[in-house]
Structure 1
Amino acid sequence: MKTPSQPRAIYYIVAIQIWEYFSFYGMRALLILYLTHQLGFTDSHAIDLFSAYASLVYVTPIIGGWLADRVLGNRTAVVIGALLMTLGHIVLGLGSNSAQSLYLALAIIICGYGLFKSNISCLLGELYAPDDARRDGGFSLLYAAGNIGSIAAPIACGLAAQWYGWHTGFALAGIGMFIGLMVFISGHRYFRHTQQVNRPALRTVKCSLPVWSWLLLALCIAPVLFTLLLKYNAAGYLLMLVCVIATGIVTRIMFTFPQHRRALWQIVALMLTGTLFWVLAQQGGSSISLFIDRFVDRHWLNLEVPTALFQSVNAVAVMVAGGVLAWLVSPESSGLRVWLKFALGLVLMGAGFMLLALNAHSAQLQGQASMGVMIAGLTLMGFAELFIDPVAMAQITRLNLPGVTGVLTGIYMLATGAVANWLAGVVAQQTTESQISDVAVAAYGRFFAQMGEWTLICVVVMIAVVGIRWIGCRAVRVRCQ
């Protein structure tokens, strides 16, 4: 039986997705190193800025999705978002060493990411009818495309930065985004049936001005706002406000659907556990990257491997271990199985940190840490991802509550993206030392060991709680028989 082909438009979406991941992860791989090497930021300042930036890029898609639904349409939002990200990388790659231009560049990228990230998936969803069997294959293709970009970006941008300078690496990320945008625009005829700009809504007058005027004003003000939040390290206040609103929404859902309260509490627990996991996983872009840069022997075949290239290990591990996903989508969905998967993910993460702790101890004794052990630890952390987000997202969508599934999905991404990135910066402050010395190596060793220990303790507690509940349920069933 012939498998029905995908809509032609999907290939343009896949193309821009590859280049969006390329630009984002290429810049992300360089950022913490650029802040400490080129701009001379202290570790503490660099980690604060990195975590604030990474946090805000997960807050803005909420606003971007709202604008696309009501005014812009998904395709137009994606185009504007890609343009803003390109502009942000251009500002970053101009060659200026000014911290002010850095803040502005990051702020523009944050705005662009907000319009792009959530709406590219929504645009893909518009290509299919609700019962179209090709939908799952389309989203799998989009997921794979993202991994291709995130694997290639640290390698290409890292080498460009090492050979030709930091700004060349940043400029390459921007060029990639621009290429993706041009390819996407060239396929405009295949998107004619998708949601277009709501022109009547744009012309509607609100507070004496048409809506399009307010949008332009917001487009000018937003980068300034995010620049100030980054400059004065105030992103946490905005995040706190958003979290209070999200908590109120979850509480209202609990009262609206009391018959699903047990399942909803499980999802809340998954959100909290997922946030813990991503606090650990996001160390890869900050504390782990600084450790690699300073203490790992990166020489291979008479070549020095750029630190940024290690950011590709995680994505490669996810791709290589993709076969595990077949087990993850098993029709069996009992609470016990869900928590065992989460526990396995945390065990892998804890094991990865324990390897890093041993590597730091080796650096104290021998002067340098092993590149092979570093790659092994990062690989375990990459494998761990397969047991966290896919499981949590499957549980959320399995509820199938009208008007709730999308909201809970967004709040899960807020918790594991924005909150986790911000907390990751707070946690990573334990590694900061005034000088690169044996004291700093010891700080990294203690930090990695503590992360591994706390993770494994959480696993023990999780298994104990689940085990007690399972035994209690079995006892109740036996009595009922």
Structure 2
Amino acid sequence: MKTPSQPRAIYYIVAIQIWEYFSFYGMRALLILYLTHQLGFDDSHAISLFSAYASLVYVTPILGGWLADRLLGNRTAVIAGALLMTLGHVVLGVESDSTWSLYAALAIIICGYGLFKSNISCLLGELYAPDDSRRDGGFSLLYAAGNVGSIAAPIACGLAAQWYGWHVGFALAGVGMFIGLLIFLSGRQHFRHTRGVDKPALRAVKFALPTWGWLLVMLCVAPVFFTLLLENDWAGYLLAVVCVFAAQMVARIMMRNPEHRRALWQIVLLMLTGTLFWVLAQQGGSSISLFIDHFVNRHLLDIEVPTALFQSVNAVAVMAAGVALAWLVRPEGSVRSALRVWLKFAFGLALMGGGFMLLALNARRGELHDQASMGMMVAGLALMGFAELFIDPVAMAQITRLNMPGVTGVLTGIYMLATGAVANWLAGVVAQRTTESQISETAIAAYGHFFSQMGEWTLGVVVAIVAVIIVRRMLSSTAVCLPETPQD
């Protein structure tokens, strides 16, 4: 049977998604290295700024989604987000070592990411009818496109930064985003049926100004606001306020749906466990990147491999692990769904813990031989990348199984807030344990101890999850085998 073809518009969405990932992950691969090498930040300051930036880009999509739903439409929001991200990368690409321009550039990218990130998926969803069988294939294509961009970006931007300078690497990320935007705009005729700007709502006057006027005010104020947050390290305060509101939303959902309370508690536990996982996974952009830069022997055939290139290992591992995806969609068999979900989570955490133990072993090797092994580093990062397949896809599938209209989207957003914004901020707090005033033998020992502790704690959580699963299975089997009580 012939597979129905995808809508033409999807190819323009895929193109801009590839280049958005290229720009974001290209800049992300360079950022902490730029802070330490070019601006002279110590490791502690660099990690704090990196984690604040990485957490804020997962907070702003909440507001970006709200603006798209009520005023702009998904397509206009995506275009505006891409323009802002291009501008932010251009500011980074200007030859300047001013910290103010750095904060301003990151703030602009944060605003652009907020308009782009959630709305590109919503725009893709507009291409299909609710019962269209092509929808799943379209989202799979979008996911694969992102991985292509995240593989290519650290390689291209890392080499450009090493050969021509940091600002060329950042500028290349911006050029990539602009190319993606031009391709997307060239296909505008294929998006005529999608929801556009709500012009009456934009013209409506509120508090002496039309809504479009307030949007312009917000466009000017938001970058300044995020610049101040980054400069003063206040991101944690904003995140705390957002998390309080998110917790209240979850509590209200539970109170209004008592019949689903057990399933909702499982979602909450998945969120907490997923946050733990991503606190560990996000070390790749901060503490692990600094460890590679300081201590790993990166020479291969008389060529020094740029540190930024190691950021591609994770995405390559995800792309190469298609076999795991096939396993994830197998029939459940005799194992109950809830237990199967936690077994997959436990396996993902076990892989992550194993990856950290491998990095700890590599750090010990570095203490003995002055430099850590590049091969062991790649193996550890690949193991961590493979682990991702057993966390987010499983959790998102479980959330979407809830038969609760009007709730699934909210819970998905809160899950992304927890595993994106909260996890990135906590990752910076955790990574501070690796910092030392000088790069020395003491520092590599600190990294080894840190990696070992992360691995041990993660494997401890795995043991706890498996123990609970075994106890529940035993109790369930005992309940089934109990004889019925005779009735009088």
Per the shorter chain, which TM-score range? over 0.9
Q: In structure 2, what is the equivalent of residue 241 of structure 1? A: 241
Q: In structure 1, what is the equivalent of residue 422 of structure 2? A: 419
Deviations 1:92-115 (A, max 9, x none): 000101000000000000000000
Cα displacement (A) at 1:477:
2.6
Name the SS for the 1:399 alignment partner. coil
Q: In structure 1, what is the equivalent of residue 461 of structure 2? A: 458
1:335 is aligned to 2:341: no
Q: In structure 2, what is the equivalent of residue 52 of structure 1? A: 52
Q: In structure 1, what is the equivalent of residue 195 of structure 2? A: 195
Cα displacement (A) at 1:473:
2.3
Residue-pair matches, total: 481
Deviations 1:75-127 (A, max 9, x none): 00000000000000000000101000000000000000000000000000000
Q: In structure 2, what is the equivalent of residue 274 of structure 1? A: 274
Matches within 5 A, 1:200-219: 200-219=200-219
Aligned mate of 1:438, from 437, 441, 447: 441
Matches within 5 A, 1:332-411: 332=332, 334-411=337-414
Name the SS for the 1:155 alignment partner. helix
Question: 5+ residue gaps in structure 2?
Answer: none
Cα displacement (A) at 1:330:
2.7
Name the SS for the 1:119 alignment partner. helix
Which letter maps to 1:320?
Answer: A
Matches within 5 A, 1:50-89: 50-89=50-89
Name the CA distance, whole Å, in 2 between partners of 1:353 and 1:225: 37
Deviations 1:415-442 (A, max 9, x none): 0000000000000000000000000000
How does the TM-score come out when normalised to structure 1? Answer: 0.99
Which letter maps to 1:457?
Answer: G
Name the CA distance, whole Å, in 2 between partners of 1:173 and 1:263: 42
158-167 vs 255-264, which deviates more? 255-264
Deviations 1:136-173 (A, max 9, x none): 00000000000000000000000000000000000000
Aligned mate of 1:478, from 447, 467, 481: 481
Identity %: 79
Q: In structure 1, what is the equivalent of residue 147 of structure 2? A: 147
Q: In structure 2, what is the equivalent of residue 469 of structure 1? A: 472
Name the CA distance, whole Å, in 1 between partners of 2:384 and 2:425: 19
Name the CA distance, whole Å, in 2 between partners of 1:129 and 1:326: 26
1:28 is aligned to 2:31: no
Name the CA distance, whole Å, in 2 between partners of 1:418 and 1:173: 22
333-342 vs 398-407, which deviates more? 333-342
Which letter maps to 2:290?
Answer: L
Q: In structure 1, what is the equivalent of residue 19 of structure 2? A: 19
How does the TM-score come out when normalised to structure 2? Answer: 0.98
Which letter maps to 1:205?
Answer: V
Cα displacement (A) at 1:208:
1.4
Q: In structure 2, what is the equivalent of residue 289 of structure 1? A: 289
Name the CA distance, whole Å, in 1 between partners of 2:89 and 2:480: 60
Cα displacement (A) at 1:466:
2.1
Name the CA distance, whole Å, in 1 between partners of 2:362 and 2:30: 23
Name the SS for the 2:124 alignment partner. helix
Name the CA distance, whole Å, in 2 between partners of 1:470 and 1:226: 49
Which letter maps to 1:365?
Answer: L
Name the CA distance, whole Å, in 2 between partners of 1:336 and 1:452: 23
Cα gap change, 1:479/1:374 in structure 2, threshold over 3 Å: closer, same or farther?
same
Which letter maps to 2:441?
Answer: D
Name the CA distance, whole Å, in 1 between partners of 2:179 and 2:457: 44
Cα displacement (A) at 1:479:
2.6
Name the CA distance, whole Å, in 2 between partners of 1:255 and 1:91: 47
Name the CA distance, whole Å, in 1 between partners of 2:239 and 2:284: 22
Q: In structure 2, what is the equivalent of residue 169 of structure 1? A: 169
Which letter maps to 1:448?
Answer: F
Cα displacement (A) at 1:229:
0.3
Cα displacement (A) at 1:480:
6.6
Cα displacement (A) at 1:358:
0.5
Matches within 5 A, 1:102-113: 102-113=102-113
Name the SS for the 1:252 alignment partner. helix
398-407 vs 331-340, which deviates more? 331-340
Cα displacement (A) at 1:205:
1.1
Cα gap change, 1:331/1:256 in structure 2, threshold over 3 Å: closer, same or farther?
farther
Name the CA distance, whole Å, in 1 between partners of 2:201 and 2:472: 52
Q: In structure 1, what is the equivalent of residue 179 of structure 2? A: 179
Name the CA distance, whole Å, in 2 between partners of 1:238 and 1:367: 42
Name the CA distance, whole Å, in 2 between partners of 1:154 and 1:423: 24
Deviations 1:342-376 (A, max 9, x none): 00000000000000001000110000000000000
Which letter maps to 2:136?
Answer: D
